[in-house]
Amino acid sequence: MAEGPSPMMAQYLGIKADHADALLFYRMGDFYELFFEDAAAAAAALDIALTKRGQHEGRDIPMCGVPVHSHEAYLNTLIRKGFRVAICEQTEDPAEARKRGAKSVVRREVVRLVTPGTLTEDALLEARGAAPLAAWAEVRGEGGLAWLDLSTGAFAAMPAARAELAAALARTAPRELLLGEAHAADAEIEALAREAGAVAATLGPASFESGGAERRLTAQFGVATLEGFGAFSRPEIAAMGAVLDYVRMTQGAAAPHIRPPRRETAQAAMAIDPATRRNLELTRTLSGAREGALLTAVDRTVTPGGARLLETRLAAPLTDPQAVAARQDAVAFLRAEPELRARLRAALKQAPETARPLARLALDRAGPRDLGALRDGLARGAEAGALLAAADPPAALADAARRLGAPAALAAHLAARLAESPPMALRDGGTIAQGVDAELDAARKLRDEGRGVIAGLQADYAAQAGVASLKIRHNGVLGYFIEVGAAHGPKLTALPDIFRHRQTMANAMRFTTDALADLESRILGAADAALAVETRIFGELRDAVLAQAGAVADAADALAEVDVAAGFAELAEAERWVRPVVEQGAAFEVVGGRHPVVEQALKARGEGAFIPNDCDLSGGAAARVRLLTGPNMAGKSTWLRQNALIAVLAQAGACVPAEAARIGVVDRLFSRVGAADDLARGRSTFMVEMVETAAILNQAGPQSLVVLDEIGRGTATYDGLSIAWATLEHLHDVNRCRALFATHYHELTALAQRLEALAVNTMAVREWKGEVVFLHEVRPGAADRSYGVQVARLAGLPPVVVDRAREVLAALEEGAHAGGAKPMALIDDLPLFAAARPPAAAPAAASPALDALRALDPDAMTPREALDALYALKSAAGD
Ligand SMILES: Nc1ncnc2c1ncn2[C@@H]1O[C@H](COP(=O)(O)OP(=O)(O)OP(=O)(O)O)[C@@H](O)[C@H]1O
């Protein structure tokens, strides 16, 4: 017999139809239940049991559920695995539903859509990391990216054409990227989102339409025009509007706290593309860990907001020397005031987070502890502000001190009303302090007195019944009741005028009395009355905070700024770093530079001191491009990267690990380090490296800094050498940028004679009893040999292989000197080497590969043409 769905199932299916792309958490009592495919997907993702409940169209309905009280942990897992979750609550009392008839279903509605970019709960967020929501829009070839951190209200937009989107996403690191329908199936954009760690979501055209977007924005911020916030372009407005629309769609009726948008420009920050960020391990190591990355090595902040700001600053170093100097002044001031710094940091350490509680308050998702955090965070912040203000600090800190002090009255207002340690939930009672409200105090007194009276009643009843062990207990089902052991039950049953039987348990009997029932209703009434007053005052306090939301958010920003400056000062002092000169122009002069991460690692492992090295790329009399040779393990990569990291730190406003440094602002930073396969995108090691190298040759300009480590090693020797050769020439002649170039191709050192701004350096090593000793010193000149065989021996290659390699090497070298005739017999015995004869001399311009390379104009090529050219190059070089 085919029956239609049950009324409840009909309701479920109706709601689910509106949320096809999300898992539906359907509230049933104390559980969120999932059905059908949702249940199967969630059970697998959460590793929980998949069960059945009833039938639909003749088949069992798969079901699983998570308890409401612990659902956040499950949500967390689902969101991390890329799901979106629609939370569907019961929006009426079941008693109301019953009034409509026995079969009627409790009304339910989706009150919120939980997505990776719209999280606000502490349980779902990393304290020290942001999880912004971004949207990208394109209008007539122009692009705009907007991003919002809903957990703090920070909102910004910047221009980002398609070609710049990767860098913009890498800088803002969104968790979720909203796209218009035109980009819904755009594999390239989706790949960029994935690479940046974001889940892509598609919105309809109405969300992105810039007229509607502008109306939404002006309404949100209560202004007639957006011009007061910045000169936003159409695509930026469209993207911001889409973000707002998505927040409206996902957050239900609540009005989020969103701060007026900031307009950022690509030029204001050093451009660092995703590959460079990865290679330099700015915030994560190549393996994805935080430990070992620059961020972790320089993080001395003591507040979550400070940690998040530090990450933002390292992700977007400034390009305006004056702005850098303002940050440096703050660091220098706090460095020179160790006592003040210690007191400030102590105050900050005690300051709970305020930005996220504020956001939760606005979304009506806050509990009493969020108000407690605001009270304490604002008070500690105001203390820190007062300490600072009294010390006559430089402009940036004076401004922070002012902002920290602004909500002091609000902090006092909260302090005067909130209980010392507020409970988890409002309904637990005890949010509001004693003495704040007469009605509340009276209700509490009644409730507490009632409890006292119960203690008295227990003694009376024990005496009347003659049962010393008689107890008055309380549970959620029966309320207050009298309990005696089963053996004593008859003594109470014998007094029916006093005791009424309620329940017989295995070992106990339960009773009630008129007096107890009366008392209970008075206690309950008093507790309800107290809760009603607490709820009202909580609402008033919430309104008071939200009325000053701007000032509270400004204070949270200021706290983070002070924390970052004090952290940098602490770091500089502990690690003996210096304030670099950051200026216009193309200077790059580092004296005694060190690698911040390697130095700390050496220290931690007790492996001796890090050897400092200079680096001068200032041009003029000095070189602009440096070619570095030296054996494996000699420290080439370390030197290359340390100079790039010094530029990042300097422009982020920090001190740098060096004795002295002068940096002409770097507008774009590029780094390629022996590339890895990108199997996900179907590219080989060599292909990845060439794509990345092409990006550099096409984009680097005179203000850029380029760091290239062993370009061309992923292919046959001649091809690799030719590509490295041509790349170096192009950087020198065409890009005219500052560059560091490490290579194993010693042949390249010959170029120094022809390229006037190229200098050659080598990593010093000493040979001792046939072993190589690394001195880790960068010296002028070229390496005499590569010591590869010795290093292989150090690595534990079997002695027979090392000995054989020595033989082959000797023969090859002899052959090279003697013109290559005699040892060919030996080499021909070794199939491995048959294909790669040693170079007879530096491959001069006669190489067809080189000629072909020179003739290329990468700017004018499509990716397809570039790939074809690459194949042509390879076969030319193979001739
Ligand atoms: N300046 C230095 N002072 C002390 N130790 C150093 C220094 N530079 C590098 N090292 C040590 O040497 C190790 C190897 O350095 P690095 O990886 O830079 O060598 P490399 O020349 O790039 O090697 P390869 O060519 O194999 O990639 C580092 O991990 C570090 O422990």
Q: Which of 439, 437, 457 is nearest to 449 (CA)?
A: 457
Query: Which ligand 1 atom lies nearest to the CA of residue 594?
Result: 1
Q: Is 635 annotated as a binding residue?
A: yes
Better-scored residue on pLDDT, 525 or 399: 399
Q: Is 456 annotated as a binding residue?
A: no
Estimate the crossing angle of helix 549-575 against helix 338-349, to 10 degrees. Answer: 130
Q: Could you report the per-residue pLDDT of 163-189, keeping only the tens digit for each?
A: 889 889 988 999 999 999 888 888 889
Cα Rg, the chain, nearest whole Å: 35
Assess whether pLDDT exceeds 70 at residue 196: yes
User: pLDDT grade, residue 745 (50/70/90)?
Assistant: confident
DSSP notation for 779-846 = EES--S---HHHHHHHTT--HHHHHHHHHHHHHHHHHHHHTSSTTHHHHHT-HHHHT-PPPSS---TT
pLDDT value for 817? 64
Least confident of 583-592, 695-704, 863-872: 863-872
Give pTM, 2 decimals.
Answer: 0.81
pLDDT value for 280? 92
Q: Which residues touch 499 (CB under 8 Å, ≥6 apart)?
A: 461, 465, 482, 492, 493, 511, 512, 513
Mean pLDDT is highest, among 215-224, 255-264, 464-473, 649-658, for 649-658
CB of 744 within 6 A of ligand 1: the answer is no
CB of 633 within 6 A of ligand 1: the answer is yes
CB of 635 within 6 A of ligand 1: the answer is yes
In angstroms, the CA 248 to CA 178 distance is: 14
Proportion of the chain above pLDDT 70, given as a percent: 94
Q: Which of 594, 598, 629, 777 to mutate to test the pocket of ligand 1 (most atoms within 8 A of CB)?
A: 598
* Token digits of residue 18: 């509106």
Assess whether pLDDT exceeds 70 at residue 683: no
Measured in angstroms, how far is the CA atom of residue 262 from the centroid of ligand 1?
A: 42
Q: Is 132 annotated as a binding residue?
A: no
User: pLDDT grade, residue 681 (50/70/90)?
Assistant: low
Polymer length of the chain: 879
Q: Is 874 annotated as a binding residue?
A: no
Mean pLDDT is highest, among 206-210, 431-435, 444-448, 720-724, for 431-435
3-class state of residue 24 by DSSP: strand
Least confident of 37-46, 242-251, 699-708, 748-757: 748-757
- CA torsion through residues 205, 210, 215, 216, sign: positive
pLDDT value for 156? 95
Assess whether pLDDT exceeds 70 at residue 503: yes
Measured in angstroms, how far is the CA atom of residue 650 from the centroid of ligand 1?
A: 23
When pLDDT is averaged across residues 664-673 and rounded to a whole number, the result is 92
Q: Is 70 annotated as a binding residue?
A: no
When pLDDT is averaged across residues 417-435 and rounded to a whole number, the result is 93
Least confident of 195-199, 278-282, 467-471, 841-845: 841-845
Measured in angstroms, how far is the CA atom of residue 340 from the centroid of ligand 1?
A: 39
Least confident of 245-254, 529-538, 568-577, 714-723: 714-723
Better-scored residue on pLDDT, 351 or 679: 351
Whether the CB-CB separation of 124 and 72 falls below 8 Å is answered with: yes
Estimate the crossing angle of helix 355-362 against helix 368-389, to 10 degrees. Answer: 140
Least confident of 484-493, 559-568, 704-713, 769-778: 769-778
DSSP state of 748: G
Mean pLDDT is highest, among 69-73, 179-183, 653-657, 689-693, for 653-657
Whether the CB-CB separation of 553 and 631 falls below 8 Å is answered with: no
Q: Could you report the per-residue pLDDT of 134-149, keeping only the tens digit for each?
A: 999 998 889 999 999 9
Q: How crowded is the C-beta side of 374, counted as CA atoms within 13 Å?
A: 34
In angstroms, the CA 447 to CA 452 distance is: 9
Assess whether pLDDT exceeds 60 at residue 458: yes
Q: Could you report the per-residue pLDDT of 80-103, keeping only the tens digit for each?
A: 888 999 999 998 888 888 888 877
Task: Tally Cβ neighbours within 10 Å of residue 54.
Answer: 12
What ipTM did this prediction achieve? 0.97
Whether the CB-CB separation of 760 and 627 falls below 8 Å is answered with: yes
User: pLDDT grade, residue 449 (50/70/90)?
Assistant: confident
> How far apart, in Å, are the Cα atoms of 378 and each of 392, 400, 553?
21, 13, 10
Q: Is 630 annotated as a binding residue?
A: yes
In angstroms, the CA 97 to CA 81 distance is: 37
Residue nearest to atom 28 of ligand 1 (CA): 635
Q: Which domains are assigned to the chain?
A: 7-114 (3.40.1170.10), 122-269 (3.30.420.110), 438-540 (1.10.1420.10), 581-788 (3.40.50.300)
pLDDT value for 263? 93
Estimate the crossing angle of helix 549-575 against helix 514-547, to 10 degrees. Answer: 70
Whether the CB-CB separation of 8 and 88 falls below 8 Å is answered with: no
pLDDT value for 834? 35
Assess whether pLDDT exceeds 60 at residue 800: yes
Q: Could you report the per-residue pLDDT of 30-45, keeping only the tens digit for each?
A: 999 999 999 999 999 9
Q: Which residues touch 438 (CB under 8 Å, ≥6 apart)?
A: none
pLDDT value for 26? 95
CB of 638 within 6 A of ligand 1: the answer is yes
Assess whether pLDDT exceeds 60 at residue 829: no
Measured in angstroms, how far is the CA atom of residue 784 from the centroid of ligand 1?
A: 19
Measured in angstroms, how far is the CA atom of residue 774 from the centroid of ligand 1?
A: 9
Measured in angstroms, how far is the CA atom of residue 636 from the centroid of ligand 1?
A: 6
Whether the CB-CB separation of 151 and 359 falls below 8 Å is answered with: yes
